[in-house]
Amino acid sequence: MTAVTTAFDKAKAEDRAALVGYLPAGYPDKDTAIKSALAMTEAGADLIEVGLPYSDPLMDGPVIADAVYQSLRNGTRIADVLDTVQAIADAGTPAVVMTYWNPVDQYGVEAFARDLSNAGGSGLITPDLTPEESGDWPAVSDSYGLDRIFLVAPSSPEHRIEKITAASSGFVYAVSLMGITGTREALSDAAAGLVSRTRVHTKLPVAVGVGVSNRTQAAEVAGFADGVIVGSAFVRALGGASDGASAVQAVRELAAGLAQGVRRQ
């Protein structure tokens, strides 16, 4: 049993969905990013996604893409990502890295897995990696005790969902709608159906991301999913703050509201 599995099991035992928060490492600066991630956990987040900044973030909408660009301009490197992961893990909360595959491939798959494991990381979310193209990653991740979190989408046919879930561990990331990340005024009607279709093929928890931005939406997703993933809303809270302390407080307040939302009434 991994730390990710334990987090979802704890949420289930409390009759609620798990809250998963995302922040890119190094935004608006390394210290504020770490303090904000820790504030998330103190306010009720069960799992933190640490974004590895990448120059071509295909899945990300303008809020996250701009933050990632700023992080890269700040000089954020993989070592800074690992430092962020370690700070979260040392505080007792599972941390996974959200990354496109090219940085991992360039770093070296085994070297990345080794260093992530040594930092206390729990796994990788890889939005542009398919099971067929994952190469040595399944064997390497198993050897270092890291979870492989693949994505399913509303457009995924049944045979794809079956293959993706079979290759996954920790949880399955269900993208609520087609398109880039970002907050939405209303959630896609496809999200609940995708969760139902995914559960046919796996006993892993299914967490829904893309579009969730407030307590009401978190409560809606918690009604049918095992986890609620929030990213752009946290990044927007950081970007809208006047200074580091205000940024951390904004993230803390948003996380507290979302943590209430995932508790089923």
* Residues noted as catalytic: 49, 60
Q: 228 near 20, Cβ under 8 Å? A: yes
Q: What is the DSSP string of 182-203?
A: ---SS--THHHHHHHHHHTT-S
Instruction: Write the CA distances from 213 to 138, 182, 196, 256, integer angstroms.
Output: 32, 8, 22, 13
Name the nearest CA neighbour of 170 among 215, 129, 122: 122
Q: 64 near 231, Cβ under 8 Å? A: yes
Tell me how crowded residue 198 is: count the other CB atoms within 10 A of its CB: 24
Name the nearest CA neighbour of 85 among 34, 125, 40, 127: 34
